[in-house]
Structure 1
């Protein structure tokens, strides 16, 4: 019998979403995930299958719990400062062009024209805002 899981899967997925949003999929190694999430490498592979498996779970969590609620509740004037859009933005630019599953997830959210507006506002803010090394 294996050892009981020493981490909360939902917390790891949420933390991974933040990490992928800041550094992108290709900017994070499995070693980075292990160090930042506090999950042993074997546990990561056992639960999520791969770095990509964790990424897909994190992306879906972000879309369901952060992005879609913004479509209905957010004031457009504040969207430029909404870091909850960062993983979607990174996924659309970095992963969707080369990963059909990511492209489907991103595409499903982009069918709502408000999403494109939200991403445009967030992208403009990230480009024009002075940076102090943190993601806004």
Structure 2
């Protein structure tokens, strides 16, 4: 019988998600993972099969916990400008979208499974924005929720780059108003 596992797999996946969200897939070596996660290289390979296996588990964790939570909050905020503004401000300044953003630009073009997961996340965000528009009985609800999702993602990308100018704030307020006013 083998030795019992000396680490909590869920904790390792969550920590790996945070690491990949700050350093990217290509910017994170197996040595970085071993050092940061406190897991032996052999245990990492035995549990996840490869760096990619851990990355996929981390991306799925991020989608199930961070992005899904954002989707729920956007849907629930529909029809309430203050709530929508708070949710979107958190999405723009917080880290919930970071791993999916990096996955979209770095891994999705070269990995079909990552592309599918990213596409599903963006579709869920589009649906939440559409639901929020309908809940607000928004006269502009016929406008594409994809455009609103793209604005949200663009705002997060700009904020992540250190840009926090007045334009980001105005755009975020406009998006919140779209989701919260008839």
Could you tell me the TM-score, scaled by structure 1's length?
0.89
Aligned to 1:97: 109
Aligned to 1:38: 38
- Give secondary structure in 2 for the equivalent of 1:83: coil
Shift of 1:65: 0.3
In the TM superposition, structure 1's runs of 4+ consecutive aligned residues that sit over 6 Å from their partners are: none
Gaps of 5+ in 2: 75-86, 130-148, 165-182
Q: Distance in 2 between matches of 1:10 and 1:119?
A: 27
Are positions 1:81 and 2:115 aligned together? no
Q: Which moved more, 1:111-120 or 1:14-23?
A: 111-120
Q: Distance in 1 between matches of 2:162 and 2:43?
A: 40
Q: Distance in 2 between matches of 1:43 and 1:98?
A: 27
Q: How does 1:1-136 map onto structure 2 within 5 Å?
A: 1-74=1-74, 75-111=87-123, 112-113=125-126, 114=129, 115-129=149-163
Could you tell me the TM-score, scaled by structure 2's length?
0.68
Which of structures 1 and 2 has the bigger CA Rg? 2
* C-alpha RMSD of the superposition: 1.4
Q: Which moved more, 1:66-75 or 1:93-102?
A: 66-75
Gaps of 5+ in 1: 131-136
Q: Distance in 1 between matches of 2:9 and 2:161?
A: 33
Q: Distance in 1 between matches of 2:47 and 2:89?
A: 39
Shift of 1:47: 0.4
Shift of 1:26: 0.1
Deviations 1:52-87 (A, max 9, x none): 000000000000000111012151133210112110
Aligned residue pairs, count: 130
